[in-house]
Amino acid sequence: MTAIRVLIVDDSIFMRNLIKRLLEEDPALSVQGTAANGNEAVAMAERLEPDVITMDVEMPGMNGLDALSAIMRARPVPIVMLSSQTQEGAAATVGALQRGAVDFVGKPSGSTSFDLHKVKVELIQKVKAAAKVPRTALKPAEQPPTAHAAAKRSLLPRAGGKTPGPRTFGHVVAIGTSTGGPRALDAVLTALPAGYPYPVLVVQHMPPRFTKSLADRLDTICQVNVSEAVDGESVRGGRVYIAPGDRHLTVLEKGGEYFVKLAEDPLRSGHRPSVDVLFESVARLSKLKRHYVIMTGMGQDGARGMLLAKELGAASTIAEAQETCVVYGMPRSAVELGCVEHVVPLGRIAAKILQVTGRD
């Protein structure tokens, strides 16, 4: 079997050597070259044509985000970002994922992580997974027109926060995604119109800080309100709630109203937050018409939850089609369980949501 050819990009010679050593401990991986900055990365990506690139986010000169964009324009390559786990690093990483990066690994202790070996297994796993991503799935998310933000500002005036939305609603939408999910969420949520009257609950597999950055970024480009979910808050129509990293998201009904519950219960399907946990919770909200969407991601999280939802009377179940998935793992698992009603390419998922909730 031919080894996966990797290009390493990091401004620290120590980090370049350490990443090279960690990756080459796996015989399936071969480091083809190393680059010290974004300019070198762009030139070497063109010349060496690697299978996968690991890219540092923060570098002097051309940084990782600009190098990523240049590579995606010239010759798309699966890229795994390496990021510090600060709030600034999280925001930059989310931006990279929106620009077409496949996945990321958080450096345990900042930009120069002498303890990178702590995430060795994760790094190798994600590089191998990235090598399998079809080039057609690497396009960055299309940015919505700037009129979207202007429309939301005019329709949703702020008074210590955005207009909260209705307390009563007849439908609820639950979405689960993982690898490739930030780009997929960008495509779906930016297509929901201002005034969309139903709540949307989202699990995206990400650590703390990164989910907050994801929610903040989506809120600036979507016509609907997007925020990281807060324990105990009222669920309202016209809002999107992103599960915080390391917390399961469920919904409780009390006196005809619905409330967010966050918990640090054990991992499910290897994850916290878990899509299965969210889907199972929403499945029990029998007074509402419940809709479920499962999109790109590794593994099986969400498939069994969608099956239970179907058995408990889901109004609709939607899976992203294989041809647009960065990783066709989670949707495939749901399809194989026979619980998916609609298989839809990414670009048509929002339209399907609007149709099944009566807003087409």
Q: For residue 38, what is the enclosing H or E element? A: helix 38-48
Angstrom distance (rounded) from CA 35 to CA 37: 6
Greatest alpha-carbon span in the chain: 64
Collapse the DSSP code of 267 into the 3-class scheme (helix H, G, I; strand E, B; otherwise coil) and give the result.
Answer: coil
The per-residue DSSP string of 150-175 comes to HHHHHHS--SSSS----S--SEEEEE
- List of residues 6+ apart from 293 with CB closer than 8 A: 173, 174, 175, 176, 188, 318, 319, 320, 349, 353
Q: What is the DSSP letter of 101?
A: -
Is-contact 302 276, C-beta < 8 A? yes
- In our burial notation (b when 16+ CB lie closer than 10 A, e otherwise), range 90-100 reads bbbbbbbbbbb
Strands 248-254 and 257-263: antiparallel
CA distances from 16 to 65, 92, 113, 228 (A): 18, 20, 11, 35
The per-residue DSSP string of 297-358 comes to BSS-TTHHHHHHHHHTT-SEEEEE-GGG-SSBSHHHHHHHTT--SEEE-HHHHHHHHHHHTT
Angstrom distance (rounded) from CA 137 to CA 305: 26
Which residues are catalytically annotated? 178, 205, 301
Is-contact 54 127, C-beta < 8 A? yes
Collapse the DSSP code of 213 into the 3-class scheme (helix H, G, I; strand E, B; otherwise coil) and give the result.
Answer: helix
